[in-house]
Structure 1
């Protein structure tokens, strides 16, 4: 009797433990939002139908927004509060500061060139020196010959050796070369949907840093921004981008797995931006060497997959100004793959020469829209033609 009671007790205890375990599994709080989604093993991101709601996936929203801000994908708990968020510098104040830096780092135009043009007698040898000076400023062969010919005609006709008048002539011609007719504004004002910005470039030019700095520019303009960490091949790239975003309360969509499909992450970032009704989503991509056809194809794929969800409004090519004319071949290849709409020129200080702005625009027919002149978080500003030329000529 005692044995049967004991056995009955054991059975009841086992049943209770099983029920309790089932309750705990069913009642466990789920991570907010949609479950993590992956590509089927036999399916590629390019096979997705337009606007497919359940594909692609595998991305996680890593958000460091203040409490109360909506974010309903898998999240890491934010550690920042409104009080700890940085306030980015306004774009208008950046221009003046960047111009001051450009004045210090570029003196080829303000000293060498003006000195040559102000000589009492400007013969063929002097014009040859002027030509060499412009070429050394990375202006490029065609723009250099065009500028020298125009200046030669004007100096001959006017016959003025007054330094201020010569400087005024040079300023007028440089502004024409830099081309104020270009629309340098970012296409990030699309009512009813997020504007999509794709950022591309080779390794080492500072794409991820540029995306982070540009996010600060957007926040300073009161835009709601989401970042997409589609550079899934470089170790810590997503972490770096997340850190940039967290400083100003901008969330980052990234993959939990290194080496994940970049197109999947890009798609999820755009999808999340649409869901949260953000103003702008910026997608950081892996560095692509222009002689690696498969990598360039991968970049084209990222753009195509994004376009299954939304139009790509801006493709910004990040170039290192210190590479000079070598950057032109990079720019040409990228423009063929993803239809570049604007240039971000970084490191336009130190050994860089301002003439590269003209050379790039002449070759691609694409405007320089942003320039960077330092390592600080707010050392990126919209490009302004007249302020740029004035900085080149300021002594």
Structure 2
């Protein structure tokens, strides 16, 4: 077989990373290849994942909340965290989702908006993987418009009582703590959105798992049901008021997706190159045909560009200069191109591409979810449009 070059080599991507960043990336890659890849197709097929067990191992690896400082967190750079997301999603989007929800949603909410007591109680255990978290924002009737949520928190003496439901919540059924957002009557009579740290063993809280998914099957997805869930005053996140709280958390999670989605695309492309190099068609390798090489070249271009975009946004984030519209650029482009790459790679593998013997159809199915969660493509287009024109076209 002729000598081949990877996308990393074609774009000289390693030249853009420090030795430490490459070392941590390689450590996460090895963990994924050795510990998870041998099992992931079976987990996907059976729609299960040993979430608690993996959380402890991922905590030991140091990737849970790795971009946060203190409280047992590694305090790594945004780029390093992104590279970890990329390598985990190159295995499966469900694994990256577990890490993103734990670190960029639940832990970030407590770290950024919580009290010192809340941080001390939860963050060290969550960083170690001894406690799993989930993030309750999306509702059955309110996804892209979180301000329309119906979940309510009502004062009762010094306590808060929560009622409502959340939907499509990763880690929900296995979580030890849920960060739940609800409307209150605070802020001088106006309804204000506030966050609450809810231990999942609180009476009235339940999290039935959502079954029969065709995407993110190696991931726990749940509904959260809150029926007269009584919480003390200390359960409220004291520093978050209004939508800025949950939206800041979503922006953190979207950043990880920018890297993660392109990791899934890379894995599809590498699989297609390997397959085409050994699959014989009309007495020569499939890779020797012009049409196949045209597909591979176009996909390599998009995967490489996706890496460059992710790295650039990571550097901006580390400098404290990244803006939400720029995160939307990355999420929109990399998710949209990743799912196109997965589908095109499936055509190269032909009938073999629909089996779990190869990762391509699994990535393609997972990316159907990644494309729309943490903001649909349409929402990100409008966010970018607002940045370009100054006009908000959401309504």
TM-score class normalised by the smaller sequence: under 0.3
Q: Which has the higher helix share?
A: 2
Bigger Cα Rg: 1
Normalised by the size of structure 1, how large is the TM-score?
Answer: 0.25
Normalised by the size of structure 2, how large is the TM-score?
Answer: 0.25
